[in-house]
A and B are shown apart, each in its own frame.
Chain A
């Protein structure tokens, strides 16, 4: 018998094993929900799958009586817009400063300690300041996301630039490259796929900051809705919303991964060989 570290599942088996925990959770939920509803048909904590389905179809298809909008889509659009703006701006800042700090020792000496300190400030502690300075509108929510993840991306990309082999930078200089050209043609294209990696890693944090900002001051958005219906113990809304957010986050991550493979095949070649 082989050692356990040498036993590998086949492709099909791996897929089934991966599904198993999901199936288990659903089954456990179904039993628990059923038990509670048998004891008390008005129980709101663990609604049955039928109730969940009804609520989802209402949220996704019928206009709300109060606003006339279809809530799920309106909330999704509002949240995704904030998230995209925040993450996009953070990525741009991260790329610019990451490349500059990684490539220019003088700039690094001047700014790296500052960026490191910035990244240690808990972003949520700044939220009140953001609300005071930028008001309760969209801007403060986007700024919170930017502030929450940009320092991480800057530091990560700076690190990646510094990890480029010394030989490459010397070689580029013997090929007549000046500082600007080397940043543009040697460093930048090589950190773009690493930027995608950094963004993927920071998406979880970006969602956290988004939901937090929406929970505190907003009139629409996925986080706003969850915290709104919390007062009515409306688990039939909260649970589908959480699942929906998870699905969106998963799809974004998957999309970025595929985008990276499509745009930077040279970067992913290595992984497959390894």
Chain B
């Protein structure tokens, strides 16, 4: 069986600056990948590459064995941290929009029986994300959590092959965030989704997904901080990972974060990390997949 997403020797550079280097990754349908890493480590760039908003400098990304289209399309759903929903449409219309755009290339509107079908489908999806009571409300009248629920429904109604989540709960209160975790977990199971989720919150990454990808620099040159990009330094089946691994990764990530203004320690840190990695994999259990570690 071909993997849902196959990434081969992916590089992304902006002029002199290398953002991502040498990433090889194979993600099966049904995986829930959470992506963590220090700020500016390229995890958002990685998501934009998957989305098609950016193209790789080298290497390729295959979706179900086919090269990815170089612009966003309906096979990939996205929920951003903000601005994912359309302020001029009610919740129901927001969710219907995708069905209407797909069904009516010219007018972008459906009529008659087709419209009723789209309406029912959208209403059912809103019900599934817990917005059954707010069909006619405009996004402005919804709380942050409800807007993210709406954005999820909007994407899911298109049945995308992969769902990309860019820090979707970053702006929410902790209590609401827990509710959203439950919701996303349930939607993932019920709809057979393949998910990539960026998060700042390592705990969230650890408990929500089936596979944790940590992005970090593999090499570091303090004199030329832009010369090396980030790769995948940990690739763990987190369902079986233990607390100690979590703590170690947390320490690694926060060290990288602290080193953002480059110093001599940076070199040390990046030298010690590859050594730490196999142990981390062992802690996590036999199933740890080896990521793109050594260039």
Contacts A185-B101, A185-B108, A270-B140; is A173 near B73 (CB within 8 Å)? Answer: yes
**With A and B bound together, what is the CA distance between A32 and B76 in angstroms?**
75
Q: Are B72 and A173 in contact (CB under 8 A)?
A: yes
> Total interface residues on A, using CB and 8 Å?
26
B105 beta carbon closer than 8 Å to chain A: yes
Best-buried of A168, A181, A186, A264 by chain B (most CB within 10 Å): A181
Chain A residues with CB under 8 A of B74: 174-176
**With A and B bound together, what is the CA distance between A180 and B109 in angstroms?**
12
Q: Are B53 and A177 in contact (CB under 8 A)?
A: no
Least CB distance from A69 to B in Å reads 46
A178 beta carbon closer than 8 Å to chain B: yes
Q: Are B158 and A176 in contact (CB under 8 A)?
A: yes
Least CB distance from B54 to A in Å reads 11
**With A and B bound together, what is the CA distance between A27 and B226 in angstroms?**
72
Best-buried of B53, B77, B88, B154 by chain A (most CB within 10 Å): B88
Chain A residues with CB under 8 A of B85: 171
A interface, over-half SS: helix
Least CB distance from B282 to A in Å reads 39
Chain B residues with CB under 8 A of A177: 101, 108
Chain A residues with CB under 8 A of B51: 170, 174
B114 beta carbon closer than 8 Å to chain A: no
Contacts A264-B88, A266-B138, A267-B88; is A174 near B105 (CB within 8 Å)? Answer: no
Within 8 A of A (CB), among B38-73: 51, 53, 71-73
Within 8 A of B (CB), among A156-212: 165, 167-168, 170-178, 180-181, 184-186, 189-190
B80 beta carbon closer than 8 Å to chain A: yes
**With A and B bound together, what is the CA distance between A173 and B106 in angstroms?**
15
Q: Are B98 and A167 in contact (CB under 8 A)?
A: no
**Nearest chain-A residue to B74 (Cβ)?**
A176
**Nearest chain-B residue to A184 (Cβ)?**
B108
B86 beta carbon closer than 8 Å to chain A: yes
Q: Are B73 and A176 in contact (CB under 8 A)?
A: yes
**Which one of B78, B109, B141 contacts A171 once the chains associate, using CB atoms below 8 Å?**
B78
Chain B residues with CB under 8 A of A265: 138
Q: Are A269 and B141 in contact (CB under 8 A)?
A: yes
B185 beta carbon closer than 8 Å to chain A: no
**With A and B bound together, what is the CA distance between A168 and B84 in angstroms?**
6
**With A and B bound together, what is the CA distance between A101 and B87 in angstroms?**
22
**With A and B bound together, what is the CA distance between A99 and B84 in angstroms?**
21
Interface string of A210-238 (1 = CB under 8 A from B): 00000000000000000000000000000
Residues of B within 8 A of A (CB): 51, 53, 71-74, 76-78, 80, 82-89, 97-98, 100-102, 105-109, 138-141, 151, 154-155, 158, 160
Return 21 A-B CB contacts under 8 Å, by A number. Answer: A165-B83, A167-B80, A167-B82, A167-B83, A171-B78, A171-B84, A173-B72, A173-B73, A174-B51, A175-B74, A175-B98, A175-B101, A175-B102, A175-B154, A176-B73, A176-B101, A176-B102, A177-B101, A181-B101, A189-B88, A267-B87
